[in-house]
A and B are shown apart, each in its own frame.
Chain A
Amino acid sequence: MTDEFDAFDAFDAEIMTGLRGLHARVDPPPPGMAEQMLLAMAVAGLDAELASLREDRLAGSGARAAEHARTISFDAASLTVMVTLVELDDGRVRLDGWLAPAAPLRVELRLPGANRRSSLVTTADVAGRFVFAAVPRGLVWLVVHREGATIVTPTVSL
């Protein structure tokens, strides 16, 4: 029985759809993988330095859980980026950031989008502070632009 060169038919299509579904269920890519790939490409494409995560902790008392803030800091060779995240009533997140040493650098927050990433951009003040007042949830990362160097942080899941 050799029917291998017959035209591809609806039954074949059903088999292939079945195989796709099975593999997607049995052995899916790790969650968030596509976003991590985009980050890797951004770092490579910008010829940027990838900062490392130094600390990620929740602050605030358990009794007032609604007000707890998450503080994250990233280290690059010559710059530290600290951010504090507070959940807003509408589910979005306020991000307060601080660059050390302080410098009025352009800071970009890369956000997930339906089809492609979008970004919010701001500039730190002379004290190195910057704010993104209402950030939608999802995997985000920061890009800090300064002369001669770009620093990208690892992704943060909001």
Chain B
Amino acid sequence: MNRSPDVVRRAERLADCLRRAREGEIAALDEVVRELNPLLWNVARAQGLDSAAAYDVVQTTWVELLRRLDEIRSPGSLTAWLVSATRREAWRAGRSGRRVVGGLEPTELADAAPGPDEGLVTGERDRALWGHFRRLSPRCQELLRIVAFVDRPDYTLVSEALGMPHGSIGPTRGRCLAKLRGLLLADPLWSAR
């Protein structure tokens, strides 16, 4: 989540993988899959799909990437393309009516199976962060969950892909993050340190 050389290098590395794949070296995508599969998983899950549906959606997206390698405008926009494609596919799967875990309302979450295993959230700060995060609107939860898995250089493009073009998160903080930040600053468990 910073502009460290590692992150910049990663963006360049993935862009290079796409370039090589387009030239016919399909194995170059292995690295892309390994690095970005967690992001795609989170995109699908953030849409409220259950594990099995999310798995199918992500798989469809990866296969789709193979077929559409040449349609991606620039290697740098690969992450944004994958996020959009996963989201579209998840939306389609959700509409087909199957296997959608109820909305992301915190009260429903406890009953929604299989949902996130909240028992794994330990430690006061983590609990506070999780608690406040879960009280955000579903839209904000979706946005922040996805962007949390994106490297800083890709924030702007990914925000656009999520339909939040103007600084939803990028060089500036954006409404959802500002809200969460405000809640955390007001919470002694988080801010007292």
Q: Hey, which bits of chain A sit against chain B, CB under 8 A? A: 1-8, 11-13, 15-30, 33-34, 36-38, 40-41, 44-45, 113, 115-117
Contacts and interface: CB of A to CB of B under 8 A. Distances in A.
Contact of B34 (A13, A17, A18, A115): A115
Interface string B167-193: 101111111011011101000000000
A12 to B, nearest CB: 6
B181 A41 contact: no
Given A13-B2, A116-B30, A3 B178 contact: yes
B30 A38 contact: yes
8 contacts: A3-B182, A11-B181, A15-B184, A20-B149, A22-B126, A22-B130, A41-B26, A117-B30
Given A13-B2, A27-B116, 9 more contacts: A6-B173, A7-B172, A8-B169, A17-B148, A23-B42, A37-B58, A38-B30, A115-B30, A115-B31
Dominant SS among interface residues on chain B: helix
The 8 closest A-B CB pairs, nearest first, are A4-B178, A116-B30, A19-B148, A29-B41, A20-B148, A27-B116, A26-B116, A34-B37
Interface residues of B, number: 54
A28 to B, nearest CB: 7
Interface string B142-158: 00110111000000000
B51 interface: yes
Interface string B14-52: 000000000000111111011001100110010000010
Contacts of B51: 30
Interface string B103-126: 000000000000111101100011
A96 to B, nearest CB: 27
Majority secondary structure, A binding face = helix
B72 interface: no
Contact of A22 (B28, B38, B129): B129
Contacts of A117: 27, 30
Contacts of A26: 116-118, 120-121, 130
Interface stretch (B59-67, B73-81, B91-99): B59-67
Given A8-B173, A12-B177, A19 B62 contact: no
A19 B63 contact: no
A40 B59 contact: yes
- Which has the most chain A C-beta neighbours within 10 Å: B30, B67, B120? B30
